[in-house]
Structure 1
Amino acid sequence: MYLLGIDCGGTSTEALLTTLEGRVLGRGHGGPANYTVNGVSGVLRSVREAMRGCWAQSGLEEAEAVPQITLAIGVSGAGRPSEQAELTEAFHPEGFTRVVVAHDAHIALLGALSGTDGVAVIAGTGSIAYGIHGERSHRVGGWGYLLGDEGGAFWIALQALRRVMRAYDRRLPEDQVLLEAVKSYFNVVDPSELIPLIYKTPLDRGYIGGFSKTIGTLADQGHGASQEILADAGRQLGRLAVSALAELGLTKTEGRVAACGGVFSAGRWVLVPMEEEIRLAAPRQRLTLPDFNAAAGAVFLAARHLCLELSPVAEGLRESSSHGVARDV
């Protein structure tokens, strides 16, 4: 028997095929698979593409392997039980008899904490906190760029752009370093030229959010405003974690909060204020980097579905992958 974990994201899909002990047999990648954007057919198409890579690397024949597989999938945009049920049913005609579907934040948490309970804060273009404690789960944030996503890459970029526009209006002192960085990244000569770029339809949040990496670079170079923006992002992300911990009754217990996603590549500028925010409310919780990625988290979800002991799965994944053990921030 085998475990097949799949991370279906808005940009790409990753599949990981393992033994019941977590030894990796094959990996594969596919296209975007967001339930809301790509629909069930799009999810199926990208998953099939990713699975082909698993069959090729493992040497297994698909027809023989599928009946022996427990399939676990985390799908972005599929946070409601009805959506997960629809996707579960869609995979039965593919030959899978043991299928479990979850939101992508769920598998990110399981990967980050090696299948154990706790909270993960995921900060990519947007932001969300997700926690599990026993039979309970709880999400905080993830409400999109208009209603939430505080501390995410798009939010960080937006804070920087607002500073530039306020300086352009003489409502803030001019920040030549930030201004030149904005002009270079967005390829404009004057800040007023940002308007058609920012308000064009459809809004390219990924492109705008990519400017957050420049903010991280400027912070490393000693730029005070960039450091302030990232510190504020860290505090916002810390508050997401605290809300999830409080809802799950974990503020007084020992445990871990995992920091997952590209925003944390900014390092201490985000992580230190985030950790301070968490420790004020939950002093026994440690902020750590993730153990494994979300595809491995889906493998843990499959293992939990079979009621397997998770420690051997984690050890098998660790021995056959490039991921190391978690580190405190």
Structure 2
Amino acid sequence: MFLGVDGGGTKTAFALLTGDGRLLATALAPSSYYLGQSIDLVEDVLRSGIGAVCGHADVPPEQISHAFVALPGYGEVSSDVETLDAIPGRVLGHQRYGCDNDMVAAWAGSLGAVDGVNVIAGTGSMTYGEHDGRGLRVGGWGELFDDEGSAYWIAIRGLGAFAKMSDGRLPAGPLRERMATHLQLATDLDLVDVVVNRWRGDRARVAALAHVITAAAADGDDACARILREAGRALADLVTATVARLGYAPGDVVPVSWSGGVFTSEEVRAAFREHLLDTPVDLRDPLLPPVLGAALYAARLAGRPLSPEAVDGLQAYATTVLQGGSHE
């Protein structure tokens, strides 16, 4: 029996799988994003969620063959890694587990835990890939100077386009009315009050405005469509860099999938695919949500990976299983 834990910025998901791919139980707990808070938060969340999922399945944690705990922010403060690595052992009562960043769960879910690359485009952006036993992260340096193609990146450029439309530096398009209505602006310049003064530039609230840019593009806004196409190309560049660094042999075709809300945009997906036309990749729709990916990765760490047939069978749960939140 394998436990997958998918940490997120809004909630943390837990799933127990059997070795033949049956889903025994799921549970949800609060966010496990500890940066800016106490690292003790992680242990509290794991105790709550593991207790719940084991209670639902009526099995004690000691009977879990292997677990994989995917945590947001893991590895981004090197001095915290040893502390984070020790926490699941205290909760589970054994050492049969692994810990890593939540990008690994997203990769394992999207590709069914087989070698290849997953690009994540949510609030932030990054890729994670594995090949021949080696894992690699590219991107994800944060919104101040990276995260190209992410929801935050799209939103910032959309806000800039709104300002230029208001000034007459760009022709006014559907974005101007959509943004003003969405934010209930009395005047265009109230945008500064909302985003800077009230929100204080909050990353998640700004990133959520990407939906407004996507909707305006669908209404025919040329500036917003350009932003989305640029996002797709930027995300494709992350994939290209990852493939190059993973050491695939010439002629190898690399499985590539994606996760995150940015990919709901048709403009982004089309530009992403177009920019990868000359790259030897096999673009695949995501198979499973990250929490099931985490459980698959637990089985892989145990040396008992699920069969392709069992992985295919898990797709029956893909749209109903409880999921963690705010993947980056």
The alignment's TM-score, normalised by the length of structure 1, stands at 0.89
Q: State the 1:225 CA deviation.
A: 2.3
Partner of 1:8: 7
Partner of 2:28: 29
1:63-110 Cα shifts (integer Å, max 9, x gaps): x34343412111110125654432221222221321200111111111
Q: State the 1:222 CA deviation.
A: 2.7
> How do 1:188-207 and structure 2 match up within 5 A?
188-200=185-197, 202-207=200-205
Letter of the 2:161 counterpart: R
Letter of the 1:90 counterpart: I
Distance (whole Å) between structure 2 residues aligned to residue 8 and residue 38 of structure 1: 15
Aligned mate of 2:176, from 165, 176, 179? 179
Aligned mate of 2:284, from 288, 296, 304? 288
1:244-292 Cα shifts (integer Å, max 9, x gaps): 11111347421221111011111x2111111121223x1x312222111
Distance 1:297 1:273, change over 3 A: same
- Percent of paired sites with the same residue: 30
Distance 1:208 1:234, change over 3 A: same
* More relative contact order, 1 or 2 (CA 8 Å, 6+ apart): 2
| Structure 2 gap segments, 5+ residues each | 321-328
Partner of 1:71: 67
Distance (whole Å) between structure 1 residues aligned to residue 196 and residue 220 of structure 2: 31
Distance 1:252 1:278, change over 3 A: farther
Aligned mate of 2:230, from 205, 224, 232? 232
Distance (whole Å) between structure 1 residues aligned to residue 218 and residue 168 of structure 2: 27
Distance (whole Å) between structure 1 residues aligned to residue 288 and residue 163 of structure 2: 40
Partner of 1:327: none
> How do 1:1-329 and structure 2 match up within 5 A?
2-58=1-57, 60-61=58-59, 64-79=60-75, 83-94=80-91, 95-175=93-173, 177-200=174-197, 202-250=200-248, 252-266=251-265, 268-280=266-278, 282=279, 284-311=280-307, 313-322=310-319
Distance (whole Å) between structure 2 residues aligned to residue 315 and residue 164 of structure 1: 45
Q: State the 1:127 CA deviation.
A: 0.6
Q: State the 1:316 CA deviation.
A: 4.7
Q: State the 1:9 CA deviation.
A: 1.1
Distance (whole Å) between structure 2 residues aligned to residue 304 and residue 231 of structure 1: 36
**What's the secondary structure of 1:166's corresponding residue?**
helix
Letter of the 1:20 counterpart: G
**What's the secondary structure of 1:310's corresponding residue?**
coil
Distance (whole Å) between structure 2 residues aligned to residue 122 and residue 184 of structure 1: 30
Distance 1:313 1:40, change over 3 A: farther
Q: State the 1:136 CA deviation.
A: 1.8
Q: State the 1:214 CA deviation.
A: 2.2
Distance (whole Å) between structure 2 residues aligned to residue 41 and residue 141 of structure 1: 28
1:181-202 Cα shifts (integer Å, max 9, x gaps): 1111222122211113222465
User: In 2, are the aligned partners of 1:21 and 1:316 still within 8 Å (CA)?
Assistant: no
Distance 1:40 1:22, change over 3 A: farther
Q: State the 1:313 CA deviation.
A: 4.5
Aligned residues, how many?
Answer: 316
| Structure 1 gap segments, 5+ residues each | 324-329
**What's the secondary structure of 2:277's corresponding residue?**
helix
Letter of the 1:115 counterpart: A
User: In 1, are the aligned partners of 2:243 and 2:254 still within 8 Å (CA)?
Assistant: no
**What's the secondary structure of 1:174's corresponding residue?**
coil
Distance (whole Å) between structure 1 residues aligned to residue 212 and residue 195 of structure 2: 17
Q: State the 1:148 CA deviation.
A: 0.6
Q: State the 1:322 CA deviation.
A: 4.0
User: In 2, are the aligned partners of 1:67 and 1:97 still within 8 Å (CA)?
Assistant: no
User: In 1, are the aligned partners of 2:289 and 2:318 still within 8 Å (CA)?
Assistant: no
Distance (whole Å) between structure 1 residues aligned to residue 190 and residue 9 of structure 2: 29
Q: State the 1:48 CA deviation.
A: 2.4
Q: State the 1:112 CA deviation.
A: 0.8
Distance 1:195 1:290, change over 3 A: same
User: In 2, are the aligned partners of 1:24 and 1:321 still within 8 Å (CA)?
Assistant: no
1:142-162 Cα shifts (integer Å, max 9, x gaps): 011101111111111111110
188-197 or 307-316: bigger deviation: 307-316
110-119 or 49-58: bigger deviation: 49-58
The alignment's TM-score, normalised by the length of structure 2, stands at 0.89
Distance (whole Å) between structure 2 residues aligned to residue 171 and residue 315 of structure 1: 52
Distance (whole Å) between structure 1 residues aligned to residue 313 and residue 53 of structure 2: 17
User: Which structure has the highest helix share of the two?
Assistant: 1
